[in-house]
Chains A and B, each alone.
Chain A
Amino acid sequence: MAIRKSTLLENLTAYGFMGPALIVLVLGLVYPLATTVHMAFLDWSMGTPWDTKEFVGLKWFEKLTTDPSVWKSFWVTLKFGFWVVLIEMILGTFLALVLERPIRGAAIFRTAFILPLMISPVVVGLIWRYLFDARAGMLNYYLGKIGIEPILWLADPDIALISLIIADIWQWTPFIFIILLAGLQAIPSDVVEASRIDGATWWQQTIMIKLPMIKSVLIVALLMRIVDVYKVVEVVFIMTEGGPGLETELLALHVYKVAFNSQNLGYASAVSMLLLAIVTLLCLVVLKFSNPLKQKSDF
């Protein structure tokens, strides 16, 4: 809560405190963002001096709308995002509900469970590439033991995305779990007890009392996942590099490829703007339903 009304001195002091951070943010984030917007209208190749750029108007945006690889990447990314967020939210919430009560060993379990979250995405990609490897990987070996033919986890066009989804679920479900668990544990126990006395079964308590009460936590977790899902690039880079073909070509990866393979930085900027537009749109849609910032405390 602020303590005083603002005066000139107040403003100066405040900006003094925020100054360094603001400068870095403006130079390091806002300026690049603005540059992206600018560059999306330019024809500039990697490796050429800045002066050789040409203004080309909406050329790249037109190309965006017809470029099949961009569309493919777009759909792959949407599909990926949808499944990943859906499964992780359901799984994470379910686990949090089931494991809500503190039990012995909970601390050790929690430490173990957040490990996937904390290790480098590059390493996550490495590990799962190894596990999914068609010849040397463990999964196929054990599947073989129960009579299933080796699956080309990373090379089969129909399966590659699923493998990616599995890796992401492994990494991020603990995130949802931890947040939801904290949310559930913040619910005053007597409200739940009151519902028991009113006659609610465990299922009714969960659906009618607990989940509605942690609605803002669910929304925040959902938002955070949506935002993070579109950042995914390391794991896919390591596991499949977008292949086979474009089956796992996530948009963030596609930006990189356009920039480095075609050297066309203008076009790459246009594609990255598409990415940004998607994330922003999705967040706005979720916020339309419920704004956790505006929400007064749930209880």
Chain B
Amino acid sequence: MNASTEKSNPGHYALIVVLSLLAIGPIYIMIMTSFKSQVDMFSRVPLWLFVPTLDNYAVVLTDNKFDRYMFNSLFVALMSTLLTLAMAGLAAYAIARREFWGRGFITYGNLMVRMVPPAVIAVPVFAIWSRTGFSGQFEELWGLIFFYTALNLPFAIWLLFSFVKQIPVDLEEAAIVDGATPFQVFRLVIFPLMKSGYAVAAIFTFRIAWNEFLIALFLTGRQARTLPVAIQGYLTDEGVEWGRIMAMGSLIVIPSLLITFFAAKQIITGLTAGAVKG
């Protein structure tokens, strides 16, 4: 490369335009398809210009079970995010700052637990669940919340841990000298400074809970079903109604799209936290 550090390369621009199109393209196609009428669907030639219709959305949204699925997913995702953050913050602080017996083990254990694929615990979760005899929408949703929280804690703890580390120890020591109890130190010093960390952790936790499929499949009956499971159900019916399915898919990704547009920077921070030092 040349001495110049400022000139940009037309080749670069071309590349990022192509990459952006490749990334967004398929998603756009889905959304576009969701606005196509049945007739247009059957056209052999993919239509880029067509008369959009809201039929598909109308059908999907008026299906009263869809409301329920939407509620279920939202409820579970929000609650498990809240719980995860609450617990992970405290735990991260303890691991980062406090010397205690078993600290090394817990840190490594945390990382090891992240390795576990949900598939591995889906079966025992099902077994455990059926042994408890719980059933019904309320119980099943809380069951999901519990397990999602467990699933998300390792990553959330690790992420918040890297944020806690960045807070200067001096601040805590000053608070202790001023007479604060450990919990006060957390509440008054650490917690306010970790807001951006919580934002990042919230994004990832919510995403996993919102999108999780296998455990929800095992655990929920028709009442407590979440969106990802519901969509899959529509698929296995005879003949795929692409318009309808794409409408559902578009609805499911709305939170993800919104979060990405507004919090891209936080997402990137979260992805790189701990992977890159400094």
Contact = CB atoms under 8 A, between A and B. Distances in A.
Touching in the complex, A and B, CB below 8 A?
Answer: yes
Contacts of B45: 141
Interface stretch (A59-67, A157-165, A227-235): A227-235
Given A21-B91, A33-B121, A234-B213, A182 B276 contact: yes
Contacts of B116: 29, 33, 276, 279
Interface string A179-216: 10011001000000000000000100000000000001
B186 interface: yes
A227 B211 CA distance: 18
B26 A280 contact: no
A6 B257 contact: no
Contact of A141 (B44, B117, B173): B44
A3 B23 contact: no
Contacts of A280: 115
A6 B101 contact: yes
Given A2-B98, A35-B128, A233 B123 contact: no
Contact of A39 (B29, B114, B124, B278): B124
A132 B272 CA distance: 32
A61 B120 CA distance: 16
B123 A259 contact: yes
Given A107-B264, A116-B23, A24 B149 contact: yes
A12 to B, nearest CB: 9
Contact of B256 (A118, A230, A233): A118
A261 B267 CA distance: 39
Contacts of B142: none
Contacts of B188: none
A95 B22 CA distance: 14
A75 interface: no
Interface stretch (B52-60, B61-69, B242-250): B242-250
A36 B23 CA distance: 38
Contact of B120 (A114, A220, A273): A273
A22 B271 CA distance: 24
A283 B115 contact: yes
Contact of B117 (A13, A175, A252): A252
B1 interface: yes
A120 interface: yes
A103 B121 contact: no
A151 interface: no
Interface string A17-30: 11011101101111
A269 B124 contact: yes
A141 B45 CA distance: 7
Interface string B91-131: 10111011111010010000101111111111111111011
A126 B253 CA distance: 12
B217 interface: yes
A134 interface: no
B242 A136 contact: yes
Given A123-B249, A231-B117, A256-B217, A17 B93 contact: yes
B124 A3 contact: no
A174 interface: yes
Contacts of A20: 86-87, 90-91
Contact of A170 (B26, B150, B235, B277): B26
A78 interface: no
Contacts of B83: 24
Contact of B115 (A32, A46, A227, A297): A227
Contacts of A103: 8-9, 12-13, 16
Interface in A81-110: 95, 98-99, 101, 103-110
A190 B103 CA distance: 38
Residue among B95, B98, B120, B126 having the largest count of chain A Cβ atoms under 10 Å: B120
Interface string A277-293: 00110010000000001
A112 interface: yes
A133 B124 CA distance: 35
Contacts of B51: none
Contact of B169 (A3, A35, A283): A3
Contact of A182 (B8, B94, B157, B268): B268
8 contacts: A21-B90, A99-B16, A114-B267, A123-B253, A127-B29, A259-B126, A265-B126, A276-B115
**Lowest 4 CB-CB distances: which A-B pairs, in order?**
A28-B150, A252-B119, A14-B100, A35-B124
Given A283-B115, A297-B278, 5 more contacts: A33-B121, A105-B16, A120-B252, A127-B26, A231-B118
Interface of A: 1-6, 10-11, 13-18, 20-22, 24-25, 27-33, 35-36, 39, 44, 46, 50, 95, 98-99, 101, 103-116, 118-123, 126-128, 130-131, 136, 138, 141, 170, 174-175, 178-179, 182-183, 186, 202, 216-217, 220-221, 224, 227, 230-231, 233-234, 237-238, 251-253, 255-256, 259, 265, 268-269, 272-273, 275-276, 279-280, 283, 293, 297-298
